Amino acid sequence: MYRTAMDDAALANLAFAGVAVFAAILSGLALAAYARNRAPRMALVAAGFLLLMVQGIVVGVGLFLGGWAPLLLLLVTAAFEAALLVVLFAATLVR
């Protein structure tokens, strides 16, 4: 059976929605941990998970609406990934 571009878009949309939901759960857990002990490192980890959640939402909406060029989706994803790397790097440096 042949797959169509619509099938691929639906699969990608489902994947980014799953990432957004999983990141939201991890964000909630990290924020709860931060509320218990107020460690700055945990706040940065929560911020990283929130970035992943927002990325999943933004890219998922872009895929769902279908009007975004593939290059734009890649650039948006790369920008979120770069921001996540900065947050994680900062989390390793915080004492």
Q: What is the pLDDT of residue 89?
A: 95
Q: Which of 3-12, 32-41, 81-90 has the lowest mean pLDDT?
A: 3-12
Residue 28 in any domain: the answer is yes
Nearest to 9, CA basis, from 52, 68, 51: 68
Both tokens of 10, joined, read 């639906």
Chain centroid, CA 2 distance in Å: 30
Structural domain containing residue 63: 16-93
Residue 50 in any domain: the answer is yes
Residue 73 in any domain: the answer is yes
Residue 67 in any domain: the answer is yes
Q: Compute the average pLDDT of residues 3-12.
A: 75
Residue 6 in any domain: the answer is no
Residue 1 in any domain: the answer is no
Question: Per residue in 24-41, is it b (16+ CB within 10 Å) or e — as a string?
Answer: bebbeebbeebeeeeeee
Q: What is the pLDDT of residue 70?
A: 87
54-74 pLDDT, tens per residue? 999 999 888 888 888 889 999
Residue 10 in any domain: the answer is no
Residue 3 in any domain: the answer is no
Looking at the structure of the chain, the number of domains it has is 1
